[in-house]
Structure 1
Amino acid sequence: MPGRLEGRIAIVTGGADGIGRAISELFAREGAHVCIADRNKELGTKAVADISGDGGSVHFVPTDIADAASIKAMVAATCTRFGEPNILINNAGYITFTDDPVEATPETWRDIFQVNLEGMWECSRAVIPFMRNAKKGSIVNLGSVHSFQIVTGHFPYAVTKHGVIGLTRSLAVEYGRDNVRVNALCPGMVETPTALRGWAATGDPEGIRKAVGETHPLGRNASPEEMAYPALFLASDESSFMTGQSLIVDGGRSAFYSD
């Protein structure tokens, strides 16, 4: 039986690790040709070896999402290797927290916006012309539960994630007539390697892991694979009448009130 993305050409930014790696693996299993766009060459090379070893069609392009020229080169390499992309997963991003917003430096503000929002737009801008020409395409932007809820001490990360929703809705409206769909996937806490390293640095990784998990009504954190399947739904024709929406996959966290 053909996969749910058979013959599609997908770019996954930040695809060498965490949620992006899980998405890259699943999309390849579902028949897509996958370009992993990531700045970590070691992890990118390993991801290609692992996924291709399982029979997947995958290619790694070292990419700096904060650099528009790097993004354009990555998209050009994808076209050369596989053809014009019709799926984009804007997953790359990072987290930085400032306890007091007025103490955030201009560099902190600029750097996180350059990756989490501007880089997402530059990737979208690079692939949308191909999707418009083909009259078919799906873009999935990674938001967060922080796209809807403000938690103290998470500035300016939460600001960028609110911006992701605005970008998603704007592009969906602008390009819907071209059958280019744009949606956001908004996770709660996911146990990525980055999260695990952060908890390890506290000296009580299991205690922090348990405490964070208990903020979700399901009583636990998500695995990266639990984000890959919703991303697959948004990228595939199964969501063909869905655009401009935010799919919240957060274990019930955004429905839970805590004072």
Structure 2
Amino acid sequence: MNRFAGKIALVTGGRSGIGQAIAKRLRQEGARVFTAQRGPEVDFEGIEADLGNPDSPGAVVSQVIEAAGKLDVLVNNAGMMQESTVEDMSVEDWQNNLMVNLTAPFLMIKAALPYLRKTRGSIVNVGSIEGLGSNPGHAAYCASKAGLHGLTRAVAVDHGAEGIRCNAIAPGWIDTELNMSFINSMPDPEAFRRNIGNIHPVGRTGTPDEVAALVAFLAAEESGFITGQVYTVDGGRMAKLSLP
């Protein structure tokens, strides 16, 4: 397929994991892909940016427009997760989590809207199943991802008449480098892999490429009647009740 021929895409957090898989998939289908993340990125047209800085999103979009002249697809993928309960988390840490996971996408969308309006472009936000449920000690992460799901719906409602679509995906356990490192740190990694696979009806965890495939579909013109939706990509985990 060549669904993105002549299109310009911006993917935040595109250096590794899900973000890199998304950037590769869009490029494979013809897009010119820019990524924004901490540090350099050599595989794509990388823009170094600290998305914890509120000035960064606007600067990133400006660099894309200066280099390419337009923007067709925005993927807000960059994020962070800090383990803490509400009681134990400082206000500073709380605000930092919300800045990266929710405010940065808000500012990225705000900066991109004038250009997406011209191209009748598409936005895909990377949320999480933890925007729908919660693991222990993930208060700020869950709150920020739930907020990102809500922002997705609001943007879809407010800007749909302008030809701009906005959807989100909610991945579950995906085999990123970070998750693989976590598994390998366990006393018995193979047992952990079996156990984590067994909580999914499909019997395994997911891959970044499987997430990227859905993002590409939602960003493409063939999904033109889909907006304001949050798609769970979790191997059926959220559909499975615990045993009585």
1 CA distance for matches of 2:138 and 2:195? 17
Report deviation, 1:189: 0.5
Report deviation, 1:63: 1.4
- Pair 1:192-2:191 in alignment: no
Of 210, 233, 248, the residue aligned with 2:194 is 210
SS of the residue corresponding to residue 185 of structure 1 reads: strand
User: Which residue matches 2:141?
Assistant: 157
In structure 2, list runs of 5 or more residues that go unmatched: none
Between 1:152-161 and 1:189-198, the stretch displaced more is 152-161
1 CA distance for matches of 2:173 and 2:47? 28
Report deviation, 1:59: 0.8
2 CA distance for matches of 1:246 and 1:206? 32
2 CA distance for matches of 1:205 and 1:106? 35
In structure 1, list runs of 5 or more residues that go unmatched: 49-57
User: Which residue matches 2:115?
Assistant: 130
Report deviation, 1:175: 0.4
Aligned identity (percent) is 37
2 CA distance for matches of 1:158 and 1:167? 14
User: Which residue matches 1:177?
Assistant: 161
SS of the residue corresponding to residue 117 of structure 1 reads: helix
Question: Normalising by structure 1, what TM-score?
Answer: 0.89
SS of the residue corresponding to residue 102 of structure 1 reads: coil
User: Which residue matches 1:51?
Assistant: none
- Pair 1:247-2:231 in alignment: yes
Aligned partner of 1:219: which letter? Answer: G
Determine if contact 1:145/1:253 at 8 Å carries over to the other structure.
no
2 CA distance for matches of 1:155 and 1:209? 25
User: Which residue matches 1:107?
Assistant: 92
Report deviation, 1:119: 0.8
SS of the residue corresponding to residue 24 of structure 2 reads: helix
Report deviation, 1:101: 2.4
Of 47, 56, 59, the residue aligned with 1:61 is 47
Aligned partner of 2:6: which letter? Answer: G
Alignment of 1:230-245 (within 5 A): 230-245=214-229
Determine if contact 1:213/1:220 at 8 Å carries over to the other structure.
yes
Number of corresponding residues: 243
SS of the residue corresponding to residue 87 of structure 2 reads: helix
SS of the residue corresponding to residue 207 of structure 2 reads: coil
- Pair 1:79-2:65 in alignment: yes
Determine if contact 1:227/1:249 at 8 Å carries over to the other structure.
yes
SS of the residue corresponding to residue 103 of structure 1 reads: coil
| Per-residue Cα deviation, 1:26-57 (whole angstroms, up to 9, x for no partner) | 1001000100111132xx12xx1xxxxxxxxx
Report deviation, 1:241: 0.5
User: Which residue matches 2:83?
Assistant: 97
- Pair 1:118-2:103 in alignment: yes
| Per-residue Cα deviation, 1:109-147 (whole angstroms, up to 9, x for no partner) | 11110100011111111101111233x010000011112
Alignment of 1:3-22 (within 5 A): 3-22=2-21
Aligned partner of 2:3: which letter? Answer: R
Q: CA RMSD in A?
A: 1.4
| Per-residue Cα deviation, 1:183-202 (whole angstroms, up to 9, x for no partner) | 00111100111111222333
2 CA distance for matches of 1:122 and 1:217? 37
Report deviation, 1:150: 2.6
2 CA distance for matches of 1:171 and 1:145? 20
Report deviation, 1:155: 1.7
